[in-house]
Amino acid sequence: MSQIEKKQLQLGYIPLLDCIALLWAKERGYFEEMGLDVTLVKEASWASLRDRLAFGILDAAHCLSAMLPAAAIGEDQIGIPLKTPLVLSKNRAYISLSQKLCYELSIQNADNAQENSAKLVKYLEQEQSIALAHVFHHSIHHYCLREWLALSHLDLAKAIQLKTLPPPYMLDALASASIDGFCVGEPWNTQGEIEGYSQIVASSRDIIPEVADKVLAVTEEWAAHHPNTVIALTAAILKAQQELETLSNLEPVWQILINFNIVRFQCSKSVHVKSYHALEQIIRHLVVGQAAPCSEDMLWLFGQMQKWHDLTIETTALNELSQRCIDQNSFEKAMQHVQSNTG
């Protein structure tokens, strides 16, 4: 590989299951193999992560996919373009409601996403007040909540006000009755069920297409000045992703999630066994060979922005904007490096 322009990197993340490839690449020494000295930086919220990435405090970050199209058109109020060479997870969000609300709505385990949506909409039409939260204004979680409600009532889905909370704060807000439900990635939904606060009522996979959820992101300018560094960083994380898919024993991975305070509840092969294995399967299938970024995902996200944020974007500009959000070349070179050094 050509000479790396910058070796010491600050790599931001939010404590979620789908940051695991970053943590595993660090644990296994894959960054060092690529000549990189990476410091993992836990961020308090998606807003702080975005701002610190945009203004150069972070070199790269575990990022919400929808932040990229928002940045491309300045809808994020910053207007510093971002791009991604690697998908970290695809459509892995869940909607959870408080167990109290689920009881009041007579929600059953066998109910599907549309049935649960209809029960909640009926409740709201009776002028009952509820508070729902997502992780960020520009996220598949935001769109998933609105599309879920739209299964039963489009106008209500457009009108409802949603709160924004960082993922680790969701359960505290639910426990204090500040909110009644949320859409977030794992392991926070599982923790809510185990601790008796909430119940999963829908998966994003039942509501929206199989689009990128989290991505590895850098600013467009940073990528232009550090092309070989982007390839090296992508290759290290890609190698970690591939190993996580096939690793026979995930207990060391689970321990890392505990050490990084991402899993904060008791869950193992002997306690809460079903939940443990369900989370294991998510770790193995965050991307499953689909880590290449694609413009079609960005087009879908732009469509959601137009649908729910009342934006107007020229159709002729959409393809160019979507292509601008992805770095296919860096992904392909990283993949070639990983394949040539496997075995």
Q: What distance in Å separates the CA atoms of residue 280 and residue 23, rounded to the nearest whole number?
A: 15
User: Is the omega angle on the peptide bond into residue 166 within 30 degrees of 0, that is, cis?
Assistant: no
Specify the pLDDT at position 138.
Answer: 95
In whole angstroms, give the CA distance from residue 278 to residue 44.
26
Taking the domains of the chain in order of start, what are their residue ranges?
A: 8-90+212-340, 93-206
Return the pLDDT at 1. Answer: 60
Topology of domain 93-206 in CATH is D-Maltodextrin-Binding Protein; domain 2 (3.40.190)
- Report the pLDDT value the prediction gives residue 95, as an integer from 0 to 100: 98
pLDDT at 196 over 70: yes
304-331 pLDDT tens trace: 999 998 888 888 899 999 999 999 999 9
CA dist., res. 126 & res. 136, Å (int): 28
| 31-43: average pLDDT | 98
Q: What secondary structure does DSSP assign to 31-75, as a single string?
A: HHHTT-EEEEEE-S-HHHHHHHHHTTSSSEEEEETTHHHHHHTTT
Instruction: State the pLDDT at residue 165.
Output: 97
pLDDT number for residue 12: 98
CB 326 within 8 A of CB 295: yes
Q: What is the length of the chain?
A: 343
Compute the distance between CA of residue 17 and CA of residue 282 in angstroms, rounded to an integer: 8
Pick the CATH number of 8-90+212-340 from 3.40.190.10, 3.30.160.270, 3.40.50.300, 3.20.20.70: 3.40.190.10
Which pLDDT belongs to residue 312? 86
**Residues paired with residue 195 on neighbouring β-strands, in sequence order:** none
| 41-53: pLDDT as tens digits | 999 999 999 999 9
Q: What is the mean pLDDT of residues 93-105?
A: 97
Give me the chain's average pLDDT, please. 95
pLDDT value at residue 343: 59
Q: Is the pLDDT of residue 249 over 70?
A: yes
- The rounded distance, in Å, linking the Cα atoms of 306 and 177 is 32
pLDDT in tens, 148-191: 999 999 999 999 999 999 999 999 999 999 999 999 999 999 99
State percent of the chain over pLDDT 70. Answer: 99
Q: Do domains 8-90+212-340 and 93-206 have the same CATH topology?
A: yes
pTM: 0.96
Q: How confident is the model at residue 63 (pLDDT cuts 50, 70, 90)?
A: very high
Per-residue pLDDT at 288 exceeds 90: no
Q: Average the pLDDT over 199-218 and give the result.
A: 97
| 291 contact partners, CB below 8 Å, separation of at least 6 | 86, 87, 88, 238, 241, 331
